Amino acid sequence: MTDELPRQADRSWWLEEALALPEFAGPAAPPLASDTTADVIILGGGYTGMWTAWFLKEAEPDLDVVLLEQDICGGGPSGRNGGFLNGMYEDLGTLVERFGKEGRRTVEIAARSIEEIGAWCEAHGVDAWYGLHGDIAISTAPAFDPIVRQLVEEAEANGVGHLYRSLSAEEVRKRFDSPVARIGATMSHTAGVQPARLARGLRRVLIEKGVRIFEDTPVTRFGERTATAETPGGVVRAGRAVLGLNAWANAIGALRRSIMVRGTYIVVTAPAPERLEQMHWTGGEGVYDLRTSLHYLRTTNDGRIVFGGAGHRVAPKRVTARYRYDEGSVRDLVRDFRRWFPAFEGVPLESAWGGPIDVSGLHLPFFGTLKGGVAHYGVGFTGNGVGPCHLGGKILAGLALGKQDEFTTLPIARGPLKRFPPEPLFTPGQQVVVRAVIRRDDRMDEGRRVDPITDAIAGLPRRLGYGLGP
Ligand SMILES: Cc1cc2nc3c(=O)[nH]c(=O)nc-3n(C[C@H](O)[C@H](O)[C@H](O)COP(=O)(O)OP(=O)(O)OC[C@H]3O[C@@H](n4cnc5c(N)ncnc54)[C@H](O)[C@@H]3O)c2cc1C
């Protein structure tokens, strides 16, 4: 069956769902309309900025915190993601290799966010569909079978084997009966959320706590040495600033070569809970495959499938509208969706959207302070920010308050960890590598041989010391 392309959604389905409810839509946060001052100014109303505001207010309830968001809070990736709430287990190998015990400590501290976010939602009456359901990694072709086994073996070698369990093909089918699914592995310590409800719930609680949030307020000029933000309606002067700008942070010179902007896209079906039952996918688990250009998918409370995948193009370096919707990437997703879900034959795909991600060289978020010592940033979540942005909020609140604590002393809080090559080499090089990665994934999925040149190009970043690619 060939599908029409789904509706190009300006807001994600998650955000549309949340904004239809008064507790997530309000209260209003009109644009900044005059000059003001603050103790701390936060740029960006995603999870990073909002968790930072939360931890600042937790530490010092009287602190005057102003948050500026160019769109609405949660209008960016925080309200449009796949809802996988992970720790940093997949980075354990890299972290231990580079930082030894401190690397392990980072993963232990990041893992706390998985329960803490659930407890926070409970305590503040935010129904973000939080569920500690775990995830299933599946192999979709014989060439991916060894990668599933490797996942479990590496977890055992790193001392977290108890969180993973191999699944036979029969066991996978009992939980996720798709024709593409072969063997798999469960990861028990991860949760799922309705991402926009989490973002909008955070916003409501922050406003109740006295954080002054201004939406529809783009920062057009930022003085990093003075913590001054210029916006169309007024200037904010503060002693300290925190930047939670995700991929938009590559407009900042000091960060430009430390993050690479990529797109990832999602399609959502109409509700069809009976079809999910037919496929035995009723446990709320997130599912992902082992392609480098990953597919990630989960179900919603009303029986939809949210199906995401890495974009296939290298878009412009600056964040543009392309990241909200890329027709070519969505077309591929629709094709893949139909291959994965014959059980959803005839169920329409209702809408599609996307967003930018801030890929860092080691696949690790990093936090630091710009020259001048008053502006702190957190970026590089590399498509895994729902959990780690919560830890990021603790680190950034600590940095803004000048604290030396268990969060600000983590090795990911010492600035960029690895830079990308300079232009004019970088963009064309990136384009060649991305194409090779997708070609390699497609061939593996189709059961075809991967030619050595494609394999070599796809593997280049890792051979050059980056934590990216096969
Ligand atoms: C489609 C998609 C699926 C994803 N799936 C997952 C997932 O399942 N699990 C997971 O862990 N992660 C996922 N991610 C990544 C995750 O969403 C992000 O890592 C996380 O939301 C980053 O939060 P943030 O606050 O740093 O950035 P954002 O949520 O992007 O917030 C940054 C904000 O800054 C604002 N801004 C930018 N420039 C300015 C300016 N000049 N002035 C004022 N405001 C400005 C933006 O409008 C934006 O709202 C996904 C991302 C995408 C795009």
Give me the mean pLDDT over the 365-371 stretch. 97
- Tens of pLDDT, residue by residue over 119-157, are 999 999 999 999 999 999 999 999 999 999 999 999 999
- Best mutation site among 206, 216, 245 for ligand 1 pocket (most ligand atoms within 8 Å of CB): 245
Among left, alpha and beta (phi > 0; psi -120 to 50; other), residue 372 is left
Contacts of 148 (CB under 8 A, 6+ apart): 137, 138, 139, 166, 183, 184, 185, 290
- Tens of pLDDT, residue by residue over 233-252, are 999 999 999 999 999 999 99
Q: Tell me the C-alpha distance between 217 and 379, whole Å.
A: 21
Predicted TM-score (pTM) of this structure? 0.97
Give me the mean pLDDT over the 180-196 stretch. 98
- Average model confidence (pLDDT) for the chain? 96
Angle between helices 195-208 and 47-59 (to 10 degrees): 30
Per-residue confidence (pLDDT) for residue 3, from 0 to 100: 57
Weakest-pLDDT range from 62-66, 158-162, 423-427: 423-427
Which amino acid would we find at residue 156? E
Ligand 1 atom having least distance to the Cα of 381: 19
Cα(44) to centroid of ligand 1, in Å? 9
Cα(238) to centroid of ligand 1, in Å? 24
Percent of the chain with pLDDT over 70: 98
- Whether 306 and 350 have beta carbons less than 8 Å apart is answered as no
How sure is the predictor about 1, in pLDDT bands with cuts at 50, 70 and 90? very low
Give me the mean pLDDT over the 445-451 stretch. 95
Distance of CA 294 to the CA centre of its chain: 13
Question: What is the C-alpha end-to-end distance of the chain, expressed in Å?
Answer: 32
- Whether 27 and 204 have beta carbons less than 8 Å apart is answered as yes
Q: What is the DSSP string of 341-372?
A: -GGGTTPPEEEEEEEEEEEETTS--EEEE-TT
Q: Tell me the C-alpha distance between 38 and 58, whole Å.
A: 17
Q: Tell me the C-alpha distance between 85 and 130, whole Å.
A: 9
- Tens of pLDDT, residue by residue over 256-299, are 999 999 999 999 999 999 999 999 999 999 999 999 999 999 99
Cα(209) to centroid of ligand 1, in Å? 23
Q: What are phi and psi of 431, to 5 degrees?
A: -60, -45
Cα(67) to centroid of ligand 1, in Å? 15
- Whether 33 and 215 have beta carbons less than 8 Å apart is answered as no
Ligand 1 atom having least distance to the Cα of 264: 1
With a Cβ cut-off of 6 Å, ligand 1 is lined by: 43-49, 68-71, 75-78, 80-84, 86, 218-219, 244-246, 248, 264, 266, 296, 308, 354-355, 357, 381, 383-387, 389
Contacts of 75 (CB under 8 A, 6+ apart): 11, 15, 45, 69
Distance of CA 317 to the CA centre of its chain: 18
- Whether 116 and 58 have beta carbons less than 8 Å apart is answered as no
- Which residue minimizes the CA distance to atom 22 of ligand 1? 385
Cα(49) to centroid of ligand 1, in Å? 10
- Which residue minimizes the CA distance to atom 48 of ligand 1? 76
Longest CA–CA span in the chain (Å) reads: 63
